Structure 1
């Protein structure tokens, strides 16, 4: 039997790499945050993946430059087995060279040539100098060139200050700038909400500044909250060299200027005089545009066009190609997308939500779809007149000429107010919350307009009072562009957001229109609710992004989307943008309609199913899967990889085989953990989840397996001295506390409970091998 992966690394691969010049200083291990598993009600992070990341030699004090991924396999596996997996890692890590080896042979994939080599002896593995020459040749610059200097500048705060994908994005941006090819000074980075785009911007400017390339920089956005967040991070690195623009003070003494477009004097009418008077042509050497998908064009484009020689870096969290039903919103999205790609070119690096979820950096998403029965059909003028329709502002009854002939569901709460529908939706939402921990959950509800947001706020607070729940200063509150919620005690919008972010006893549900779609960092948000119909894919992704952040302090590792308007249909679209030739169907400027209001409808809220948001292996896009749909996919895949329950058990006690099995399943470990929670099997090990859905064996909790361990292994335990048996029972109890991986930890025999039972000495007296004991305990715990 050949060496396992760990021994193959230590005994075969490491010595061979060292002999080729790949010393330990040139080999890094990139580790993700890791999957979060809830065990006995407590969150536990598992270690993220670890790869060989090969780096080029640098001078002392310089940043190591990642250049290749090497995937290690067991000695008795084919060298090519890890190549496809390594190619995926290389794409995420932004490195051009990919290798896979079993300790004897290796195979290479060169992303520049897009070709795979023949298998070769590991002794002929390329040396650092060769990969450096190949890298420089294909990139079109030497690492000794002036333009490449930022690549070797260390991170401010050290390597721990960045995540692997942030490093990959920064290198991708700096490589394009150093290459000086056509379009070199226009860079687009696309990363999911919550992945740290502002941190990337700060480190980029730091590297450029330390290399002597940065003269003056502008970090520009279109929301005050974004400006505040951006300035805070810029100031932490650049100190007084960073300043933000306000009150028509251009802060021309600052090296790093942080501003909104509005603060630069560019108003809604496109007046650019303040900006042009204070910042002459090519005033800035570098410009970073946050949320560039919506903020770089039309009336604000002067910031870019007046600095044509500047390095301009666009940051976006939004899908870049648009499909969907025909609408003015889609037309607008198409125009924005075309502008982004035409101006910046293709993104040099992308990090989608699905990848962030898989890595453990972004929260898992469960989708609960609900449906108001009244939305099944349009409402006609005659039935409104029959019920008695009134003007929503004056209360006066409306006549035929005041009412549209037909109202579709997209018009509800905007042109036609239906109090019965709103009441039913609010009541149903709080009932859903009661099923998942109570009504006091941090939530953002997206509404059709300011009036709708206010009505929903009032309705939710009334229901809360009717339930007789303890007094809450602000259970639901309105937070919109047009003003402060009634009864908000004078709180500013910033104050409302801050209290929602930090308050544990108030400010639970924010009703909004678009104020909270972007630029607001509230990691504790547990629910995103759609009470409005959304047509814009760009806007939809921004809304959903408010829930994607993990908040470990708050105990939030997943979020739910409550979808009452089928907004989640916009997940997973293939975004393709084509020039628009037909005229826009938007309403004419200044067109006014009376807002109609009618009561007397019975509205039932129907369950449309629970869904898991995950990557579709066919399209590569994230999309909602029903729980049953995902369960069936998982079951089919399990049976394909393990013919029977006994084989599954054998694979499960082997760490490497277990890891490979889980990674091969649809959704990987993240999807399985989310399914386990939805099936109310939280207290079970994943083995029992798989046993139940794949082979029909009823799942047992970890506690039940520990209790059964004694009688199922009675003969073995009785054959051992008492202290040895006690150590083995103590090992079994660790399974209940922390899962099977706890038994595989190198420090398992240092655990206090194991030591108290007799520890290693007790087992040694009985002549027991520690590794064999752990394996027997694992098999005994999972025995039928």
Structure 2
């Protein structure tokens, strides 16, 4: 009889762990999920190369209902102790957060970590036949999350499941459950912070759906301040509300619906007694969800705050990627501390968001300033004021034509070296700057513009033709437009999943705006080759990455500096809707007196001086990468690799032992790639046809490398094959040639026996017979690998 210790982990799960769970009363189909992928695996990028890290995958997640995880189990084979998987299970619990119990098992028993301390202790070992039932763990969940019996009906309401099978990611699940449970407990103001690209609207939909279906909330208002957001919401997840959904338009108020979408501007804009929102009674809505709540609704003196104050009896839920905290505007003062935060760094580390690399380009006139020579006139013949101009002036007060041309040249140069059809957003100072930049880009890309004039487009608040192309720019399937210039219109709320290049040629002094702009590139689109994006920075905006506020918790500022952004709703029609259901104009934001500039500013706000004949050159250029700690790093690929490997292997001897002991070298190669060691690009940099082993030892430990052919020749010189019979010797010699040509990972796979020239020796079974049996063949391959690396 086979010993328990000889069983694989899969066998232990099938024979012992799963039956124990089912015997405790768990439904195998609706409550037990196996091999649950919690993350996607971080994307590592250096230059043009990228690699996916490993997913975090739990062996079991147990659910009381499909939306409520209440236990995590990590399984090990019986050569491990019963508690050996508990640390790994606790790591998964750090993601799911509100799960009351985690377990480890090797098939002998369960080791329990109970966050409620329900049994008087946190950790204990329990027999297989005493695993808790769903009802027992549900009681612990309610205890941990302080849910009483009256709140259970709401907290236990199911999600909406559509036919596509789409389900919330782990962090969305946590966010939805926390909001629903908080509303059930009677909390009136709730703030949720989710990084751009992580699905705020989907979270809002599932939250509203559960509160609506449970009848906890019966009439719900979803508020936004851009037509693009309303349109995306209506045609996206909210379409599942069907006939219960209605979009509010001015002067067309209907009160027979249950779910309402509205622009702030669609509810205000009249005099005090005729504002559209006043046509509803003060207690008409019992839930209001405010999208992008950082953009003004929290400001005490905001006109939009009137709406929230009017419907003060309703529960208010604020959604944002960038909570605004200044002396004058505070999300925290209004909503309280965030109930849950999922940051950009977390999204990148989990592999749900794209990492970035930053190309920092310093122009001479930016870094050194520019002072006109005596008698210098502008293009209109007027004398230019004699003073030193700098980046705070360029394209706001002073236009240097050659500077615009140089920026367009560098953008085009980058795309020509990478992908000329990579969707690109160029953020400019204002509409005039965006218009001139579009012209300069067309001149730099005349060949592609001649084929399709929409290769370069200006999409700004005043440009109707450009705005009509916004849907095409957002569409993954649409090639054109490719290069888009804008100022404020695309900073927030506009999804461009395939955007691969963001160009910063505006002075961005607001952390809120900076985060929003970076968020335009963070969406992943693997099916379209989008795994990372590049930021080309011409104005030293990348310094914001070093600020603790970039990816830290919101901190309330005591002072409001002159460089902070002020969200002022402008009375222009910059985001005109193009469908019948949403007619009201959106709002672009600008403060003409703010030093940052950057708004879509109407003609005549300021007079600009335009000069030419100025020499503009690139003084410095460097690439920085998203580092392991979430900060930008200037490490070269070689230095990054060396640090990475040495952090995991204390010495060359440590690595050699690990390499020789590995059953399959491919496992170590995959492990290194999962940590961001990009072997193909390293091969290109070294310029030699090296085995991954030699590549790593050379770069990390300064060992003299040997090529694969050199290693193969050394094996032959030692007459290693003499101990085998003729047929076995021929097989091994051919495997050695395969190694020399293609690498170690190719000879480890049994598939190699089905390929030329090995298949000439017969079927895999016949080849195994040359060695005695399959096990002896595998042992011979392992011995060959040992011989290949013997010199090391």
TM-score norm. by structure 2 comes to 0.78
Rounded to whole Å, the distance in 1 between the matches of 2:528 and 2:226 is 26
The answer (yes or no) to whether the contact 2:294–2:324 under 8 Å persists in 1 is: no
> What is the distance in 2 between the residues matched to 1:99 and 1:656?
32
Distance (Å, rounded) in 2 between the aligned partners of 1:756 and 1:116: 65
Q: Distance in 2 between matches of 1:702 and 1:261?
A: 67
Assess, with a 3 A threshold, how the Cα gap between structure 1 residues 522 and 204 changes in structure 2: closer, same or farther: same
Counterparts of 1:759 and 1:21, CA distance in 2: 48
Shift of 1:780: 5.5
Please tell me whether the aligned partners of residues 550 and 558 of structure 1 are also in contact (alpha carbons under 8 angstroms). yes
**Residue by residue, what CA displacement relative to the aligned partner does 1:123-168 show, whole Å, maximum 9, x if unpaired?**
5665544432222223222467455355445634476433232222
Structure-1 residue corresponding to 2:361: 370
State the superposition RMSD in angstroms: 4.8
Aligned pairs (5 A) from 1:313-352: 313-318=317-322, 320=323, 331=326, 335-336=328-329, 339-352=330-343
Mapped pair 1:171 → 2:174: no
Q: Does 1:442 align with 2:423?
A: yes
Q: Note the 1:83-102 alignment, pairs <5 A.
A: 83=86, 85-99=88-102, 101=104
Q: Deviations over 1:68-88 (max 9, x none)?
A: 333345655566665555444
Q: Structure 1 78/457 Cα, relative in aligned 2: closer, same or farther at 3 Å?
A: farther
Q: Against the structure 1 CA distance between its residues 473 and 411, is the aligned structure 2 distance closer, same or farther, given a 3 Å change threshold?
A: same
Q: Is the 8 A contact 2:224 2:230 kept in 1?
A: yes
CA distance in 1, matches of 2:197, 2:719: 48
Q: 1:636 aligns with which of 629, 635, 646?
A: 646
* 1:599 equivalenced with 2:612 (yes/no): yes
Are 2:287 and 1:305 aligned? no
* CA distance, structure 2, for counterparts of residue 631 and residue 212 of structure 1: 56
Q: Cα–Cα, structure 1 residues 699 and 456, in superposed 2: closer, same or farther, change >3 Å?
A: farther
- 1:403-422 equivalence runs, <5 A: 405-422=387-404
Partner deviation per Cα, 1:200-231 (whole Å, 9 max, x = no partner):
22222222233233412222211111111100
Q: Match of 2:539?
A: 565
Partners of 1:640 and 1:71 in 2: CA distance: 29
Cα distance in 1 for residues equivalent to 2:697 and 2:649? 10
Gaps of 5+ in 2: 564-590, 595-600
Cα drift, residue 24 of structure 1 = 3.7
Q: Quick one: structure 1 residues 524 and 125, their matched pair in 2 at CA, closer, same or farther if it must change by over 3 Å?
A: same
Partner SS state of residue 275, structure 2: helix
State the secondary structure of the residue aligned to 2:57.
coil
Quick check: 1:99–1:106 contact (8 Å CA) kept in 2? Answer: no
Displacement, 1:261? 1.5
Matched position secondary structure for 1:252: coil
**Aligned residue runs from structure 1 range 90-169, under 5 A:** 90-99=93-102, 101=104, 103=106, 109-111=113-115, 117-118=122-123, 120=125, 123=128, 126-142=132-148, 145=151, 147-153=153-159, 155-157=161-163, 160-169=166-175
Contact 2:500 2:534 in 1 (8 A): yes
**1:524 maps to 2:509:** no
Q: Is the 8 A contact 2:71 2:102 kept in 1?
A: yes
Larger radius of gyration: 2
Per the alignment, do residues 583 and 144 of structure 1 end up closer, same or farther by CA in structure 2, a change over 3 Å counting?
A: closer
The alpha-carbon deviation at position 248 of structure 1 amounts to: 3.9
For 2:542 and 2:665, the matched residues in 1 are separated by: 37
Partner of 1:187, secondary structure, is: strand
Question: TM-score, structure 1 length as denominator?
Answer: 0.79
1:776 Cα deviation after fit: 6.4
Segment of structure 1 superposing worse, 651-660 or 168-177: 651-660
Give 1:356's match in structure 2, choosing from 347, 350, 353: 347
- 1:287-302 paired onto structure 2 within 5 Å: 287-297=288-298, 298-302=302-306
**Alignment partner, residue 700 of structure 2:** 694
Where does residue 482 of structure 2 map in the other structure? Answer: 508
CA distance in 2, matches of 1:143, 1:730: 69
The answer to whether the aligner puts 1:258 opposite 2:258 as a matched pair is no
- Contact 1:635–1:693, Cα closer than 8 Å, also in 2: no
Aligned-pair distance for 1:542?
0.9
| Cα offsets for 1:547-580 (capped at 9, x unmatched) | 1112233222221111222222222532353353
* 2:219 matches 1:216: yes
Aligned partners of 2:349, 2:547: CA distance in 1, in Å? 20
2:459 equivalent among 471, 479, 486: 479
Compared CA separation, residues 198 and 153, structure 1 to 2 (3 A) = closer
Q: Is the 8 A contact 1:370 1:564 kept in 2?
A: yes
SS in 2 for 1:553: helix
Native 8 Å contact 1:367 1:624 kept in 2: no
8 Å Cα contact 1:69-1:97 kept in structure 2: no
For 2:732 and 2:690, how far apart are their aligned partners in 1?
24
Query: Alignment partner for residue 455 of structure 1, among 418, 425, 436?
Result: 436
SS at match of 1:609: strand
Please say if residues 99 and 109 of structure 1, whose CA atoms lie closer than 8 Å, have aligned partners that are also in contact: yes
5+ long unaligned stretches in structure 1: 323-330, 485-490, 663-667
Contact 1:631–1:693 (CA under 8 A) maintained in structure 2: yes
CA contact (8 A) 2:68 2:156 kept: no
Confirm or deny that 1:55 pairs with 2:46. no
1:671-690 matched pairs, under 5 angstroms: 671-673=676-678, 676=681, 690=696
Return 496-505 or 231-240, whichever deviates more: 496-505
**Residues 708 and 64 of structure 1: CA distance in aligned 2, closer, same or farther (over 3 Å):** farther
Contact 2:160 2:206 in 1 (8 A): no
- Residue 614 of structure 2 aligns to a residue whose secondary structure is coil
Q: Deviations over 1:570-621 (max 9, x none)?
A: 22532353353568578759996542233343222244422221441xxxx5
Kindly indicate whether the alpha-carbon contact (under 8 Å) linking 1:500 and 1:508 is maintained by their aligned counterparts in 2.
no
SS at match of 1:370: strand
Give the Cα separation in 2 of the matches to 1:464 and 1:587. Answer: 33
Distance 1:360 1:701 in 2: 34
Kindly indicate whether the alpha-carbon contact (under 8 Å) linking 1:216 and 1:256 is maintained by their aligned counterparts in 2: yes
Contact residue 363 and residue 547 of structure 1 kept, 8 A? yes
Aligned mates of 2:728, 2:32 — CA distance in 1: 47
Q: CA deviation at 1:654?
A: 5.4
Aligned pairs for 1:637-652 (under 5 A) are 637-640=647-650, 643-650=653-660
Residues 527 and 559 in structure 1, CA contact (< 8 A), matched pair in contact too: yes
Matching residue within 359, 362, 376 for 1:388:
376
Cα distance change of structure 1 residues 197 and 494 upon mapping to structure 2, 3 Å threshold: farther
Measured after TM superposition, the shift of residue 461 of structure 1 is 0.9
**CA displacement, residues 409-444 of structure 1 (integer Å, 9 cap, x when unaligned):** 22221122122222222212222222224x332111
